[in-house]
Every structure is written in structure tokens, then in C-alpha cells.
Amino acid sequence: MRKKNNRFLLTIALFFSMILLSACGSKPARYHANESLGKQINYTITGIEAGAGIMSSTQKAMKAYGLDKGKWQLQTSSTAAMTSTLGKAIKNHQPIVVTGWTPHWMFTKYNLKFLKDPKNVYGKAEDIHTIVRKGLKKDKPQAYEMLNRFNWRPKQMADVMLKVNNGEDPHKAANDWIKANQKQVDTWTKGIAHVHGQSIKLTYVAWDSEIASTNVVANVLRSLGYKVEIQAMEVQPLWASIATNAADGMVSAWLPTTQGLYYKDYKGKFDDLGVNLHGAKVGLAVPTYMKNVNTIGDLK
Ligand code: PBE
């Protein structure tokens, strides 16, 4: 009798815990064009690493468009977590707002749109600059000259990024790209004398765009005879590494808006070699199926 009773209780307990589990594990609802978006996404913008320029720009945008008053929040995470959350949301046709930028494979892989930014908080088109330490020109003139000439187009950077995203080793993806674009690469090195094992250090942030550009540049410097070390770090230390001469250069400066604060902070302590990629873009992005959300003001 007692045994039977126990078994009965156990069955009941199991039954309720299953209900509880399925309730907790239930997916958020699909996007509803005619309901308040804020409610649907818990008033949350899915962001990336804390130090990223796009995060401070987004804080500014939230103020400018009145999203700070009350419930809206910008969630700090990582680029990998953001793209994975984005991928899952799209698979389930759910609403999501992310900090987005191009060049990046997220715009190749998913149907996304930038939200219009009539107040121009994120700036229009962004450029990526090459920044080197003071004194590099004198100490390593050949490397300086190559870094000074380095420039490519968004589509080219995206090609390398997509390969890396598909699992190819960045060093190899960079070399494949160099082989396929040898003519262009030759214009970066033409007439520059080879060195013999001089070392040089480039720093970068491990964003896909910067992994692509840094590996390409590192391999080209290697072809000139340099022993190249590349080191990944957070954004603020990246700028500090150049300003304090701990590293020789970097090709990852998104300007004038995105990393403008760091540029201002360290001004006078680095050499700006100018634009290596023209026409990058930064902002808030949503899947294209979010038909009624087209400008940042629509989030309110
Ligand atoms: N990003 C990608 C960076 C620059 C490269 C847009 C995430 C940022 O500082 O926000």
C-alpha cells in the first residue's frame, strides 16, 4: 500500500516538473508587427564587448532618441554571443535589435537592415585607419612605408572574414587572399627593400574584421622579411599599446565616430597613417522581417 502511494506521488511530481520545465524552456514569441516592440524584446538592445566604440555610440543614441528614460537597456556581451543570439532569433522569426556593423559576415549570412539614424549619432560612413607608434618611421622605415600604403575595400575584407567564419585558419585565409590579389598587394610593397628578421609587433582586437586585416598585413610584412608578432587585446589597451610604444602599429581604428574617444584621448601619442578601408558602417540593426521598425525612433 505504502509503496503504491509513493509511486503515485512520484508520478504526480514528475508530471508537474515536466509542465514547469516546458514552461521555462518555451521560446519567446515570434515577431508581432502590430505590438509594442519594447515589450516584445524586454526593452533590451543586444550589444557586444564593453569597450567597443559601437557600445558608447549606442549609449549616446539611446539618450538622443529618448530610450534611456526608464526601461531600455543595452546588454553588454561579446560579439560571438551577440551573433549567436541573432542567429537563433532569426531562425525562430523573433524580434531582436543588435549593435551591427559592416564589413561583417552577419550582413552576408542574414537578412538585416540598419535602422535609420536621422540624428546621425553613429556618423555617416566610417573609415578604418592605420595607426602606428611615434618613431616607427625612423626605426622601421620599410614597415612604415608598407603600412602607409596598405588599403583595401570592404568587399575584400568581407571575403577574408567569411572564410574565417567558415572555419578556415586566419593565417591561411589571409595568404589565400594575398595570392588571389597579388597585383594589388604588390603595389603595397613595390620598391621597398627587404629586411632580415627585424621584428615588429601589431596589436588588434579579435573582431572578425580586425582578424582579417591584421593577418593580411602581417603576412605581407613577413614577405618583406619581418618577424611579425600579432597580439589580440581589448580596445582601450589596443590604443594604449601604440601610445606607449609597447606595439608598433595597428590597422583597426574605426573613425571618426566609433573609436573617436580613444583617438581624442591619445592624440599626439601616435601617427595616423590615414584610411586603409573606406565605407564601413556602424549602427543598430534588425532582421528585415521586422517590417514596422525602420528608424531608431521606432524603438520607442
Ligand atoms: N566594431 C567592429 C568595433 C570596430 C570594429 C564596430 C565592433 C567598435 O569599436 O565598435
22 falls within a domain: no
3 falls within a domain: no
Residues 6+ apart with CB under 8 A from 278: 125, 127, 151, 153, 154
65 lines ligand 1 (CB under 6 A): no
Same domain, 144 and 82: no
Same domain, 66 and 199: no
20 falls within a domain: no
- Looking at the predicted structure, is the pLDDT value of residue 68 above 80? no
Q: Identify the CATH number of the domain in which residue 228 sits.
A: 3.10.105.10
Same domain, 273 and 290: no
287 lines ligand 1 (CB under 6 A): no
Q: Identify the CATH number of the domain in which residue 80 sits.
A: 3.40.190.100
Provide the pLDDT confidence category of residue 16 given band limits of 50, 70 and 90: low
- Looking at the predicted structure, is the pLDDT value of residue 19 above 90? no
Q: How distant, in Å, are the alpha carbons of 161, 177, 190 from that of 278?
A: 17, 19, 22
Same domain, 118 and 218: no
144 lines ligand 1 (CB under 6 A): no
User: Which grid coordinates are listed for 82?
Assistant: 551577440
Q: Which of 52, 154, 67, 49 is nearest to 119 (CA)?
A: 67
* Cα first-last separation, the chain: 62
How many structural domains are present in the chain? 2
54 lines ligand 1 (CB under 6 A): yes
- Give the atom of ligand 1 at the shortest distance from the alpha carbon of 235: 9
Q: Which domain, by its residues, includes 276?
A: 127-280
Query: Biggest alpha carbon distance in the chain?
Result: 95
Query: Tens of pLDDT along 103-128?
Result: 999 998 999 999 999 999 999 889 99
